[in-house]
Amino acid sequence: MTRTPNASTTPTAPATSTSAAKTVLISGASIAGPALALWLHRYGFAPTVVERAPELRAGGYKVDIRGTAIEVCRRMGVLDEIRANSTDMNGGSYVDEKGRTVGELPAEIFGGRAEDDDEIMRGDLARILYKRTRDDVEYLFGDSIAALAEDADGVEVTFESGAVRRFDLVVGADGMHSNTRRLVFGDERRFKRHLGAYISIFTAPNHLGLQQWETYHALPHKLISVYSSAGETTAKNSFVFSSPELPYDHRDTARQKEILRERFAGDGWEIPQLLDHADRAEDFYFDSLALIEMDRWSKGRVVLLGDAAHCASPASGQGTGLALLGAYTLAGELAAAGGDHTVAFDAYERVMRPGVEQNQRFAEGFAKEMTVSSRRKIAMRLFMLRVLPRTPLRNLIAKKIREDVQKASHAVPVTEYGTHATRA
């Protein structure tokens, strides 16, 4: 699909017609927000990014960049830096409660990655995108949108700091618990579907001495893992557990740490020590594996992007890729429509939605596989892992896993928006 941007929206000649958008407020400076800012600036718009945190947030899991998202990174001019910051993981192994290896995941199966795909820490990618945009884009840290009032010509935004400003458009790139979505579309509970598990991840001392390696310990309904990626002196501790939806405030970190302790109390291996690290972690992350499903991603001059619009959960392995593809597509459609949001928002949704839904279905399936319900089933899985490397099936299974992942990661196309869109 090709959209030719209106000449008035090229970087040298910004949009000028009466319907043309010029100023865009983006809520959220993680992945989707800065990526959109990069593209909008390139097309001649004037983006402002507001981020609730006082500074760029570090932390987070290793995130995959696969399939068509790789091409978007190439076009953003950040692919080399992503490669330089790659996690470069070599594989992983399962251990029993005494720390003895009971099964290995060979590199060709680990992550199901194809040759061009890569993996990076979320915080590193956010930093790369921020560095690329901070000189051209206005960033407001430590603030948030308190109220939005749309009229025929734009949106009046009241910030929590008390400041009031007008923008032509507002984009909610503020994650699964999007503030913009709540203000414009209503309560999160209407759109969130819990997939039956929770995940926590945080930085900790690398007391297992891991190097580009992930160690897993499986218990019924639980999976604990520790890894350290290339260039890291620390490790990431990750806990997944199955559970129906739990009542807690998503901003209440202290309560989330308590929940984690309660769930893993009395469990063996290194778990007590890993939990102690949670208490000291500054980048503690805890959330449900959940989907955000909405009939529409825009209302008037406000549009949602990334996890705010269509969180596919960590079980998809595609949240970051979809955020990058969404940013590219939304900016491209706005440029192609000469800034006319009534045309661009529909087109953005048409391009993105089928691929997003495909990835959400993938996540639903994988979420069920992340933990195993009994010790017998865990033993079966470990047995398979042990025999797999010795069978001729090894390559066949690796190929099948890669093919499934590749299908999902190519589900959103890279639309051509004109030659200037590929400028680095």
Ligand X SMILES: Cc1cc2nc3c(=O)[nH]c(=O)nc-3n(C[C@H](O)[C@H](O)[C@H](O)COP(=O)(O)OP(=O)(O)OC[C@H]3O[C@@H](n4cnc5c(N)ncnc54)[C@H](O)[C@@H]3O)c2cc1C
Q: Are 23 and 45 in contact (CB under 8 A)?
A: yes
Pairing relationship of beta strands 46-51 and 298-299 according to DSSP bridges: unpaired
User: Is residue 61 close enough to count as binding ligand X by CB under 6 A?
Assistant: yes
Q: How many other CB atoms are found less than 10 A from the CB of residue 385? A: 17
User: Is residue 172 close enough to count as binding ligand X by CB under 6 A?
Assistant: no
Q: Are 312 and 291 in contact (CB under 8 A)?
A: yes
Residue 341, C-beta contacts closer than 8 angstroms, at least 6 positions apart: 21, 168, 169, 298, 301, 303, 334
Instruction: Give the residue, chosen from 6, 9, 23, 27, that forms a contact with ligand X under the rule CB under 6 A.
Output: 27
Q: Which range in 169-177, 256-264, 393-401, 403-411 contacts ligand X by CB under 6 A?
A: 169-177
Closest CA to 156 of 172, 144, 142, 170: 170
User: Is residue 57 close enough to count as binding ligand X by CB under 6 A?
Assistant: yes
User: Is residue 53 close enough to count as binding ligand X by CB under 6 A?
Assistant: yes
User: Is residue 165 close enough to count as binding ligand X by CB under 6 A?
Assistant: no
Residue 221, C-beta contacts closer than 8 angstroms, at least 6 positions apart: 241, 242, 243, 371, 372, 373
Length of the chain: 424
Query: For ligand X, which is the closer residue by CB, 20 or 35?
Result: 35
Instruction: List binders of ligand X among 97-136 (CB under 6 A).
Output: 122
Instruction: List binders of ligand X among 307-326 (CB under 6 A).
Output: 307-308, 314, 319-320, 323
Please state, in angstroms and rounded to a whole number, the distance separating the CA atoms of residues 187 and 177.
10
Residue nearest ligand X, Cβ-based: 306
Please state, in angstroms and rounded to a whole number, the distance separating the CA atoms of residues 77 and 82.
10
Instruction: Give the residue, chosen from 174, 214, 270, 340, that forms a contact with ligand X under the rule CB under 6 A.
Output: 174
Query: For ligand X, which is the closer residue by CB, 6 or 48?
Result: 48
Smallest distance, ligand X to C-beta of residue 236, A: 8
Instruction: List binders of ligand X among 265-304 (CB under 6 A).
Output: 285
Binding mask 337-366 for ligand X (x = CB under 6 A): ------------------------------
Q: Which helix (H) or strand (E) holds 217?
A: strand 213-219
User: Is residue 201 close enough to count as binding ligand X by CB under 6 A?
Assistant: yes
Query: For ligand X, which is the closer residue by CB, 50 or 278?
Result: 50
Q: Which residues bind ligand X (CB under 6 A)?
A: 27-33, 50-53, 57, 59-61, 63, 122, 144, 173-175, 179, 201, 285, 306-308, 314, 319-320, 323
